[in-house]
Amino acid sequence: MKKPKIGQLLAKLDRLLDRYVDSGPEKPLFDQYQAFIWDGTRKIMKPIRRPVQMDQNDLIGIESVKKQVIRNTKNFIEGRKANNVLLWGERGTGKSSLLKSLLSIFKGTPLRMVQIYKHDILTLQEMYDIVARNNTYRFILFIDDLSFEENQTDYKEMKTIMDGGLEQIPGNILFCATSNRKHLIPTRFSDNDDDTTRPSDTVEEKVSLVDRFGLRFGFYHFSQDTYLEIVASYAVKYGVRMEKSELDQMAIQWALSSGGRNGRIAEQFVRAIQGGDAG
């Protein structure tokens, strides 16, 4: 049997690629799934078949922020004006969990959440056509742990992506991001020493991305009372039976050895004593 030549194989591959391009990207299943991941290379939204189930009642110590984020999301879903949201601050304090809980809070509504990885941010404009064609749904673009290093200039392009430039951003998009940094980009006093700019120009440019988020909330280490309240809540959830005084004492010691008091550390502690590892 005669083997095909390399040129014939390449021609066949070209025809297959042309057929894929002509057929267009895979149509997202917005009627079947609530959460997606944006694939910036293939320009498609991949459905998340097992979305996280986050109970808002587990989020203790951030009641005021939670109320405002939920109200803003409700306005967005109902077609009213809403703000992009940035949650910044200490790790483990509930920033990501609060945004993930919106999936459960607004289950059964037109809300769809799309997780965006940082390396795909500059491809977001490719998504706008998909979103605009499906305007019966409301899309939260969820960017977790958003930040840029000093030598990165991607934040300049992201400002255009969020503002649209000459292209109008679909009205059914809302940006929600978390970050450990208040300004997303490191700023230094020396930024004001550049002879080529007016004093503060460099700093103003760096923090201008944050201005695209109309709602900005800081998250901090919890007080001891709040931390112990979270511990008690997780103890009930995981079926841990222990005298409160003993539970509190062990939880405080765990926080000291873990370097802080937050919701993540509280849950890790309760999981440990449930398994008998916190002695």
Domain holding 141: CATH number?
3.40.50.300
Give pLDDT tens digits for 38-70: 999 999 999 999 999 999 999 999 999 999 999
pLDDT confidence of 20, banded at 50, 70, 90? very low
Does 184 fall in a domain?
Answer: yes
Mean pLDDT of the chain: 86
Give the mean model confidence (pLDDT) for residues 230-257.
95
**pLDDT score for 148:** 81
Domain that residue 83 falls in: 35-219
Cα distance between residue 124 and residue 165, in whole Å: 13
pLDDT at 16 > cutoff 80: no
Q: How far apart are CA 232 and CA 226, in angstroms?
A: 10
| Residue 156 within a domain | yes
What are 159-174's pLDDT values in tens digits? 888 887 778 899 999 9
Same domain membership, residue 58 and residue 189 = yes
Of 175, 200, 219, which residue sits at a domain end? Answer: 219
* pLDDT at res. 154: 72
Domain total of the chain: 2
Per residue, the 3-state secondary structure of 201-247, as one string, reads HHHHHHHCCHHHCCEEEEECCCCHHHHHHHHHHHHHHCCCCCCHHHH
Q: 198 and 248 share a domain?
A: no
Q: Do 74 and 195 fall into the same domain?
A: yes
Same domain flag for 123 and 245: no
Q: Are residues 214 and 228 in the same domain?
A: no
Report the predicted TM-score, pTM, of the whole model to 2 decimal places. Answer: 0.82
CB 185 within 8 A of CB 169: no
